Amino acid sequence: MNAEIIAIGSELLLGQIVNSNAQFLSKQLAELGINVYYHTVVGDNGSRLSDVINHAKKRADLIIFTGGLGPTKDDLTKETIAAVLNRKLVLDKVALTRIEEYFSRRGRVMTENNKKQAVIIEGSKVLPNDNGMAPGMVFTENEITYLLLPGPPKEMQPMFLSYAKGYLSAEVGGSSIIISRVLRFYDIGESQLETELEDLLDQQTNPTIAPLAGNGDVTIRLTVKHDSEEVAESLLNETEEKIMKRVGEFFYGYDNSSLTEVAFELLKKKKMSIASAESLTGGLFGKRLTSYPGSSSTYAGGILCYTNEVKRDLLHIPAQLLETSGAISKECAQLMAEHVREKLLTDIGISFTGVAGPSKSEGKEVGTVFIGIAYKNKPTVVYSLRLAGNRDEIRNRTVKYGFYYLLKELKKGGNNI
């Protein structure tokens, strides 16, 4: 089965809401071995929706609609589909009773236009709405299956899982499944990654390999299709191993994991504590880390040392060093990391100093950054960076690099850093 997902709603085109339904449905269809080749969004306009339906009929044998099943005049989905397919609309008494009961339970008066939600396309199998009023429906015509679902995710998702998924599973038959795995990398550009994997990308068949650039990250999505889940997993593992041999040094996690999350989990696993000294980043590192429940088990706290006076008085950075090397220096970053670790009695200290802009500081260019990582009984490591972007971008990327370098050091040190 090849599917197209059509989302109806002008609010989607205006950017007022995100089309999360398409993402959810694509993942669910992949589990059923159904290919999704197109996502389409169209406004509340009958003529344009008719055009979209006619296009979809030429390229898909499963068309899923979300939205446009409500009681108002701009809810045109089933009316338009019925017109395109020359099918009648009929009142479903069971659906009407459920809608009447819905209003009764809430002590509200049902207006006449709500009866519209109980109207279905003739010949449809009705999908009950356990979390709202408008029922869904599914039917097949000329070997194309049409599935209509409500727009609100709180209604659509449970309806699909409870009623539509089983129906489609029976329709598809067979046992082919699609499994995807996302590998996440940092500190390597998309072009460099593709160069390293060029021959693998050229030869890909099953699994497929799809690189994708993100916000400072690069991801690779591996997708495999097979009748056996065990074989599918084995194929994914083999392909991942080939990729890791070439670019594994830049790898940090899977699927939806973030650098912060992976670093936090590794700190917890190793039962290690960390403290931060932040000048350039103004507390962003601590803010990111403390967004995770239980972070107090790893993060002791931080010192915001934005001025030289605070660096000198709280972190005991020598005044002479601040005058000669400057606050934006490898030497200052090293002492900041070492002294915050000692002051807050942690296993690790991390420091951030640099120039966020918009102008130079201490004669250093905008984007000059130093990140120090100090360990108990280990030499302190200082990383230097030259970052591009505006002030916020530089600060955010600095924190990401902080978590990335922290991960690298944690992995280097085994269980006893």
Residue 340 confidence (pLDDT) above 70: yes
Query: What pLDDT is recorded for position 81?
Result: 97
Query: What pLDDT is recorded for position 377?
Result: 84
**Span 88-111, pLDDT tens digits:** 999 999 889 988 888 888 888 888
Q: What percent of the chain has pLDDT over 70?
A: 98
User: At 410, which helix (H) or strand (E)?
Assistant: helix 391-412
Q: How large is the average pLDDT for residues 1-6?
A: 94
**Span 168-183, pLDDT tens digits:** 988 876 556 778 899 9
**Span 127-136, pLDDT tens digits:** 999 888 899 9
According to DSSP, the residues that pair with 120 across neighbouring strands are 90
Query: What pLDDT is recorded for position 412?
Result: 84
The radius of gyration computed from the CA coordinates of the chain, to the nearest angstrom, equals 28
Helix axes 259-270, 391-412, angle to 10 degrees: 30
| Average pLDDT value for the chain | 92
Name the nearest CA neighbour of 186 among 416, 414, 385, 390.
385
Burial class of residue 125 (count of CB atoms within 10 Å of its CB; 0-12, 13-18, 19+): middle
Determine which of 4-8, 229-233, 393-397, 410-414 has the lowest per-residue pLDDT on average: 410-414
Sheet with 125-127: strands ordered across = 35-42, 2-8, 62-66, 144-149, 136-141, 125-127
Residue 415 confidence (pLDDT) above 70: no
Instruction: For the chain, list the domains and their CATH numbers.
Output: 2-172 (3.40.980.10), 177-254 (3.30.70.2860), 259-412 (3.90.950.20)
CB 335 within 8 A of CB 317: yes
Give the phi and the psi of residue 67 in degrees, each rounded to 5: 95, 165
Q: What percent of the chain has pLDDT over 90?
A: 74
Query: What pLDDT is recorded for position 173?
Result: 64
Query: What pLDDT is recorded for position 413?
Result: 66
Tell me, yes or no, if the pTM score tops 0.75: no
Query: What pLDDT is recorded for position 416?
Result: 45
CB atoms within 10 A of CB 126: 17
Q: List Cα–Cα distances, 126 to 27, 77, 138, 164, 308, in angstroms.
A: 23, 15, 7, 10, 70
Residue 414 pLDDT level (bands cut at 50, 70, 90): very low
Q: List Cα–Cα distances, 149 to 22, 120, 294, 384, in angstroms.
A: 12, 12, 39, 53
Q: How large is the average pLDDT for residues 238-252?
A: 95
Q: How large is the average pLDDT for residues 367-393?
A: 95
Name the nearest CA neighbour of 357 among 384, 388, 399, 390.
390
**Span 111-167, pLDDT tens digits:** 888 888 899 999 999 999 988 889 999 999 999 999 999 999 999 999 999 999 989
Query: What pLDDT is recorded for position 154?
Result: 93
CA 383 to chain centre: 28
Highest mean pLDDT among 72-81, 169-178, 217-226, 320-329: 320-329
- H helix intervals, 253-363: 259-270, 284-289, 308-313, 319-324, 330-344
